[in-house]
């Protein structure tokens, strides 16, 4: 657990305050109506230590100062106590009812884009039931919405004053942005900065540039991934990549967060940081030292070169009595699974991309690893697999970052098999 001390709280405030100022400056119309700030359902009851300290937060607004909380709660589209609902169905139903009742929703701030997609999925599935419930206490809003077709309408149709969506947009979250844009009707997206329970590393500042380092909060350092040198943030160079190290008022001293960032420019002398992924997630069964960042790079390359947008996670399959291989999970589309030739080509391209890692290349040359396989999973399988992993880890919907690199500790082959189709590439 991370102690949420007064000094740590002040460090968060010194980053979140400037972000809100910049947000209002760039998107003033987003503040003219009501706002929805991510409130994740409780995954477990809040616990109290033997000394009387509460573990966890009541809702996500507790990152803000007392003044900001009072201000935010006066414009919130839904009440913060929704976060205390532990039943997912009850949580989503009440969230959607309160959102539908808010005609002047102008700003949505969430963490994971998959949380919005989950909300949207339930919104369309339960549209008739939600409108029936809405009619009882808000007949005017019911009359505005009953003419919409839930299968084709967008969030812009439902909430005409919606001007901005703030969410994660980098690394593995980027694969969901096109779906989010389709569902919302092209509502502008502001990528979030890099924030975690441990600390805040960057905040959005200027439109069109990556978030800036939160230099007024914690002491920021990074390990240069090319030279291995550890440098304070003011010595960072453009186009260099760093593994983050932070020291905070919460008691963390030179803590390695596992986040990899690239310097894409500067605002004055403050570096702009693009989040590239996690260096701490890796697979090293036979010495291949494959990181999630490398897996994400490979998946991104394949999406561009093969136009298979349904490429998802990569799974290490340790076969009994034989060499291991990586499976690249490809979800069936509306027209069915991709052809065998395309799967074979994608698997070969994946192997070439992964061989840029010298340890993986050595493992392949020594026969410790077989070449990767493209395994087709049934339509909807990717989301179902991610929900299994999320439930195992008891992570709130809004906080869950979908992993790219999977291990058998997260999902076993027995749990994966029901989603697999026979269609696959061969080594």
Q: What is the DSSP string of 244-270?
A: EEEE-TTS--SEEEEEEEEEEEEETTE
Band (159; pLDDT cuts 50, 70, 90)? very high
Question: Can you give the pLDDT at residue 18?
Answer: 92
pLDDT value for 43: 45
Mean pLDDT over 355-361 rounds to 88
pLDDT of residue 89: 83
Give the 3-state DSSP-derived string for 351-374, with helices as H, strands as E and coil as C: HHHHCCCHHHHHHHHCCCECCCEE
For the cut 60, the answer to whether the pLDDT of residue 47 exceeds it is no
Average pLDDT of span 323-344: 82
For 168-195, write each residue's pLDDT tens digit. Answer: 888 767 777 888 999 999 999 999 999 8
Return the pLDDT at 44: 45
Q: Cβ-count burial of 295 within 10 angstroms (0-12 exposed, 13-18 middle, 19+ buried)?
A: buried
pLDDT above 90 covers a percentage of the chain that reads 41
Kindly report, residue by residue over 117-143, the tens digit of the pLDDT: 889 989 999 999 999 999 998 999 999
What is the residue-averaged pLDDT of the chain?
A: 84
CA distance 273 to 220: 12
**Average pLDDT of span 17-46:** 80
Could you tell me the residue ranges of all domains in the chain?
A: 28-187, 282-424
Phi, psi (rounded to 5 degrees) for 385: -65, -45
Mean pLDDT for 8-15 is 91
Burial tier of 250 (Cβ tally within 10 Å: 0-12, 13-18, 19+): buried
* Residue 403 or 34, more confident: 34
Does position 352 have pLDDT exceeding 70, yes or no?
A: yes
Q: Dump pLDDT digits (tens) for 314-327.
A: 776 655 444 678 88
Q: Is the pLDDT of residue 386 over 60?
A: yes
144-158 pLDDT, tens digit per residue, is 999 999 999 999 999
**Model pLDDT for residues 258-281, shown as the tens digit of each residue:** 888 999 999 999 999 999 877 667
User: Is pLDDT of 412 > 70?
Assistant: yes
Poorest-pLDDT segment among 223-227, 271-275, 335-339: 335-339
Q: What is the pLDDT, as a whole number, of residue 321?
A: 41
Residue 379: pLDDT band with limits 50, 70, 90: confident
What local confidence, expressed as pLDDT, does residue 34 receive? Answer: 94
Judge whether residue 1 has pLDDT over 70: no
Lowest mean pLDDT among 28-32, 43-47, 197-201: 43-47
Helices (H), 139-266: 139-145, 155-158, 177-184
More confident residue, 286 or 96: 96
């Amino acid at each position: 657990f991370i102690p949420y001390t007064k000094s740590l709280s002040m460090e968060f405030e010194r980053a979140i305050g400037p972000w809100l100022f910049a947000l209002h400056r760039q998107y003033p119309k987003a503040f003219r109506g009501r706002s929805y700030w991510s409130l994740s359902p409780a995954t477990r009851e809040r616990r109290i230590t033997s000394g009387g300290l509460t573990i966890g937060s009541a809702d996500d607004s507790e990152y803000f100062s007392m003044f900001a909380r009072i201000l935010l709660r006066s414009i919130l589209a839904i009440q913060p106590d929704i976060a205390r609902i532990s039943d997912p169905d009850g949580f989503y139903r009440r969230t959607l009812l309160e959102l539908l009742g808010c005609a002047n929703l102008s700003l949505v701030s969430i963490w994971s884009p998959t949380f919005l997609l989950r909300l949207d999925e339930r919104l369309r599935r339960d549209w008739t039931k939600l409108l029936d419930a809405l009619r009882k206490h808000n007949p005017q809003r019911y009359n505005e919405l009953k003419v919409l077709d839930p299968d084709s309408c967008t969030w812009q149709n439902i909430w005409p004053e919606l001007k901005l969506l703030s969410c994660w947009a980098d690394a593995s979250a980027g694969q969901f942005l096109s779906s989010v844009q389709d569902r919302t009707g092209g509502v502008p997206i502001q990528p979030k900065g890099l924030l975690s329970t441990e600390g805040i590393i960057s905040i959005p500042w200027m439109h069109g540039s990556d978030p800036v380092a939160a230099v007024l909060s914690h002491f920021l350092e990074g390990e240069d991934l090319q030279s291995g040198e550890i440098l304070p943030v003011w010595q960072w160079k453009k186009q260099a990549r760093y593994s983050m190290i932070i020291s905070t008022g919460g008691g963390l001293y030179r803590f390695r967060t596992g986040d990899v960032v690239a310097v894409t420019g500067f605002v004055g002398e403050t570096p702009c940081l693009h989040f590239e992924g996690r260096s701490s997630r890796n697979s090293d069964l036979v010495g291949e030292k494959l990181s999630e960042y490398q897996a994400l790079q490979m998946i991104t390359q394949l999406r561009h070169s093969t136009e298979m947008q349904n490429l998802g996670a990569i799974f290490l399959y340790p076969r009994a009595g034989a060499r291991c291989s990586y499976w690249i999970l490809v979800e069936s589309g509306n027209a069915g699974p991709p052809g065998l030739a395309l799967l074979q080509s994608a698997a070969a391209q994946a192997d070439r991309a992964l061989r840029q890692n010298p340890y993986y290349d050595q493992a392949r040359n020594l026969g410790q690893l077989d070449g990767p396989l493209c395994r087709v999973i049934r339509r909807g399988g990717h989301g179902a697999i991610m929900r299994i992993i999320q439930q195992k880890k008891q992570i709130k919907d809004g906080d869950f970052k979908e992993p790219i690199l999977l291990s058998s500790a997260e999902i076993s082959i027995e749990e994966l098999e029901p989603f697999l189709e026979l269609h696959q590439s061969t080594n």
